[in-house]
Amino acid sequence: MPLVTVTITREGATPAQKARIIQGVTQLLVDVLGKNPATTHVIIEEIDADSWGIAGEPVTTRRLRGE
């Protein structure tokens, strides 16, 4: 029954990579908690880098400095 939301910056994750995330997270919940995969949902949300801040700065600003 778990619901998992994976929030990442939008920078070109491919459908194949998303499928691996979905598969891997679902299997992990089966293995560790014995959850039923049939009712496990995984949602991947992508956020623009200028809408995500760490340490008080947008990720876009951090990246300009090479972080």
- At 40 the three-state DSSP class reads coil
Least Cβ distance, residue 60 to its own copies (angstroms) = 7
Asked whether position 24 contacts its own copies by CB under 8 A, the answer is: yes
Q: How far apart are CA 63 and CA 48, in angstroms?
A: 13
Give the CA radius of gyration of the chain.
Answer: 15
Q: Which residues are catalytic?
A: 2
Asked whether position 50 contacts its own copies by CB under 8 A, the answer is: yes
Least Cβ distance, residue 48 to its own copies (angstroms) = 9
Vertex 24: Cα angle to 1 and 39 (nearest 5)? 15
Q: Where do contacts with its own copies occur on this chain (CB under 8 A)? A: 1-9, 13, 15, 17-29, 32-33, 35, 37-47, 50-61
